[in-house]
Amino acid sequence: MSNSKIFTAGLVGAIVAFLLGFIVYGNLLAEFFVENSGSASGVMRGDDEMQWIPMILGHVTWGMLFAIVFGKWANISTFATGAKSGALLGFLIGASFDLIQLGSTHIASLTGIVVDIVVMTIVSAIVGGVVGWFFGRKKEA
């Protein structure tokens, strides 16, 4: 698969991840995560304090991870296969990060960690599905 197609798929995945993150983490579950934070205080940035460059780069990295794995190594080219693989990657990445965070910080409660792993799995399934779909779509003549 060409590098340009992988790069484009990564950007598509990044956009989907960013939008879903804004909807789910930034709106639907924002209050839940505030209520289920650990004893650490002042760790969440307000909207006026958000640092957009790291946020954007983090989502681009997420999209690129899926695009490289799916396009270079796994040859994933359907929404369904991308969603399954995305869910697995999201679960493993989310669980590893969140469980280490739970064990080493006071940032989140166990409830918050469990919900974050579930949300990460679902969002990653959608991102993976879109990246898989992108690789499998046909060029129109």
Q: Is residue 83 part of a domain?
A: yes
Question: Residue 40 has which token pair?
Answer: 């650490």
Q: How far apart are CA 128 and CA 56, in angstroms?
A: 18
Q: How far apart are CA 134 and CA 137, in angstroms?
A: 5
| pTM over 0.75, yes/no | yes
Could you tell me the CA-to-CA distances from 15 to 56, 60, 100, 140 in Å, in that order? 9, 8, 27, 23
Domain that holds residue 75: 3-38+49-136
| pLDDT tens by residue, 22-63 | 999 999 999 999 899 888 887 888 889 999 999 999 999 999
Q: Is residue 120 part of a domain?
A: yes
Question: Residue 113 has which token pair?
Answer: 């960690």
Structurally, the chain folds into a number of domains equal to 1
Q: What is the mean pLDDT of residues 82-108?
A: 97
Q: Is residue 18 part of a domain?
A: yes
Q: Is residue 141 part of a domain?
A: no
